[in-house]
Amino acid sequence: MLFRLLLVALTAASPIHHLPTNTTQTTTSTLRLLLTITTLEAFLYAQGCTELDPFAFASAGYDSTVYENICGIALEKAAIVMDFEGLLKALGQPSGGVECEYRFGHGSVQGLVETAREVGAVGVGAFLGGVQATQSVPLLQTWIASLATTEARHDAFLRAETGALPAPSIHDVSLPPTWAYNLIQKWIHACPKPLPYPIFPQLNSTTSWQPGHNQTDDAIDTNLTISLSWRPSEFAVEVSPRQPLYLAVVDNLPGAKPMILDVQRKTMNGTVHAGDAVIPGQFAGGVAFAALTTFVELNSVDDLVQYGTLAGPVEFVWS
């Protein structure tokens, strides 16, 4: 099976015929971003394939075919990387992605699976955002959409193997490229050719709810407290210690306004500040992304990207 998949990976690169004669900076940056995310995923799955083995997966409670499929996904990701590389070369653009150094910090099967679910959710959102960002070039838009379905299949496989429903909801979150680029920074150790997106200050978050192996997708029936920490000195604008802060949550409802949650400040330990936000349990499902903001009226995630993000975004994989 792996030999067959290797042949598929080596022959899958399919340059687009009738390429557009000119592309905008937005389009090429989006393509380079999606290449970077796919390269990151390829490294992650390849690392799992080479550093772990079938016995490790069996010991962690997974079916014997899961390891083989992890290796298969690694090869498919490598094929998509080749596809992007060929496309960008044909457009006369730098690639960016393969040269980066990635660090994942997992040393176990469970660590690999949890990281892959996080990365996969970002990948699905990024490809959907890429479809929107390339709408001026229908040929590229369709090409990216076709890759988005593959991204979603990989994510569905992992979700099913961890006891979750194949899809977190009937709609996925579309991520603007700037947010997607910020979300993958936690796994990028070094990158000689950074992409032209701003890097927002880091927002740390923890909740008491962590999806795990063989966990069902029953609705969360209690309110969830999200613990946050940030460094005000890193904000792009000065924010008074008395100024109200909010957590703007972007979920899977297309076109919906971000959900605004009050942040109750708790402590100020030197340069690090902390606070809590509470989200009603009925809204804490699927996958969501959030950022710290001072704005209570936001019409879309684009508002957060353009002027509303103080720190973040962060990712929540609740189910």
Grade residue 163 by pLDDT with cuts at 50, 70 and 90.
Answer: confident
Structure confidence at residue 100 (pLDDT): 86
CB distance 130 to 144 below 8 Å: yes
DSSP character string of the chain? -HHHHHHHHHH---PPSS--S---HHHHHHHHHHHHHHHHHHHHHHHHHHH--HHHHHHTT--HHHHHHHHHHHHHHHHHHHHHHHHHHHTT----STT-EE-----SHHHHHHHHHHHHHHHHHHHHHHHHHTTTSHHHHHHHHHHHHHHHHHHHHHHHHTTS-SSSSSSPPPPPHHHHHHHGGGGEEE-SS--SSPPPPP-EEEES----TT---PPP-S-EEEEEEE-GGG-SS---TTS-EEEEEE-SSTTPPPEEEEEEEEEEETTEEEEEEEE-GGG--SEEEEEEES-S---SHHHIIIII-SEEEEEEE--
Any idea which fold 204-317 has?
Immunoglobulin-like (2.60.40)
Return the residue matching tokens 């979300």. 183
- pLDDT over 90 at 111, yes or no: yes
Grade residue 3 by pLDDT with cuts at 50, 70 and 90.
Answer: very low
pTM: 0.90
Grade residue 282 by pLDDT with cuts at 50, 70 and 90.
Answer: confident
pLDDT digits (tens, 9 = 90+) for 119-136: 999 999 999 999 999 998
Residues 28, 130: Cα–Cα separation, whole Å: 11
CATH 3.30.479.30 given to domain 2-190: no
Residues 6+ apart with CB under 8 A from 248: 258, 259, 260, 261, 290, 291, 292, 293, 295, 298, 304, 308
- Least confident among 65-74, 91-100, 146-155, 184-193: 91-100
Which segment, 9-18, 52-61, 184-193, 264-273, is predicted with the most confidence on average?
52-61
Domain boundaries, the chain: 2-190, 204-317
What is the CB neighbour count within 10 angstroms for residue 298? 20
Domains 2-190 and 204-317 share a fold: no
Residue 291's beta-bridge partner residues?
248
The dihedral region occupied by 109, where left means phi > 0, alpha psi between -120 and 50, and beta the remainder, is: alpha
